[in-house]
Amino acid sequence: MSAEVEHRAGAEPPDGGRNAASVALSAHDVGLVRADNPGPLTLSGTNTWLVGRDPCWVVDPGPALDDHLDAVAGEAAARGGAEGIVLTHGHHDHAEAVPALVRRLRAGLVAMTDGEQAGPLTALATPGHTPDHLAYQAGRVVFTGDAVLGEGSVFVAPDPGALRAYLAALKRLRVLDPALLCPGHGPPVTDPPAMLAGYLAHRLERERSLVAALDRGLRTVDELLDAAWADAPPPLRLPATLTLAAHLDKLAEEDRLPGGVERPPWPPTGMAEI
Write the DSSP symbol of residue 39.
B
Contact between 158 and 127 (Cβ < 8 Å)? no
**Alpha carbons 119 and 55: distance in angstroms, whole number:** 9
Angle, to 10 degrees, between the axis of helix 221-228 and the axis of helix 237-253?
100
96 binds Zn ion (CB under 5 A): no
- Considering the complex, state which of residue 124 and residue 228 has its C-beta at the smaller distance from Zn ion: 124
C-beta of 91: minimal distance to Zn ion in Å? 5
The two most distant CA atoms of the chain are separated, in Å, by 61
- 82: part of which helix (H) or strand (E)? strand 82-86
Contact between 129 and 154 (Cβ < 8 Å)? yes
Stretch near Zn ion under the rule CB under 5 A, chosen from 62-70, 85-93, 149-157, 241-249: 85-93
Stretch near Zn ion under the rule CB under 5 A, chosen from 88-96, 112-120, 157-165, 266-274: 88-96
Q: Which of 146, 169, 183, 206 binds Zn ion (CB under 5 A)?
A: 146
C-beta of 34: minimal distance to Zn ion in Å? 12
C-beta of 112: minimal distance to Zn ion in Å? 19
Position of minimal CB gap to Zn ion: 146
User: Going by C-beta distance under 8 Å and a sequence separation of 6 or more, which residues neighbour residue 74?
Assistant: 5
Q: Which of 45, 52, 127, 184 binds Zn ion (CB under 5 A)?
A: 184
- Considering the complex, state which of residue 83 and residue 146 has its C-beta at the smaller distance from Zn ion: 146
C-beta of 177: minimal distance to Zn ion in Å? 25
Stretch near Zn ion under the rule CB under 5 A, chosen from 31-39, 48-56, 143-151, 263-271: 143-151
Q: 143 φ, ψ to 5°?
A: -90, 110
- Considering the complex, state which of residue 155 and residue 229 has its C-beta at the smaller distance from Zn ion: 155
Tell me if residue 1 falls in helix, strand or coil: coil
Stretch near Zn ion under the rule CB under 5 A, chosen from 18-26, 27-35, 180-188, 197-205: 180-188
Residue 246 is which amino acid?
A
Kindly give the pairing relationship between strand 82-86 and strand 108-109: parallel
Stretch near Zn ion under the rule CB under 5 A, chosen from 2-10, 89-97, 114-122, 190-198: 89-97
Q: Which of 93, 96, 159, 249 binds Zn ion (CB under 5 A)?
A: 93
Residue 168 is which amino acid?
A
C-beta of 254: minimal distance to Zn ion in Å? 29
User: Going by C-beta distance under 8 Å and a sequence separation of 6 or more, which residues neighbour residue 49?
Assistant: 30, 31, 32, 58, 59, 60, 143, 182
| Contact positions with Zn ion (CB under 5 A) in 200-259 | none
Tell me if residue 183 falls in helix, strand or coil: strand
User: Going by C-beta distance under 8 Å and a sequence separation of 6 or more, which residues neighbour residue 237?
Assistant: 225, 229
C-beta of 23: minimal distance to Zn ion in Å? 25
Stretch near Zn ion under the rule CB under 5 A, chosen from 113-121, 181-189, 197-205, 260-268: 181-189
Residues in the site for Zn ion, rule: CB under 5 A? 93, 146, 184
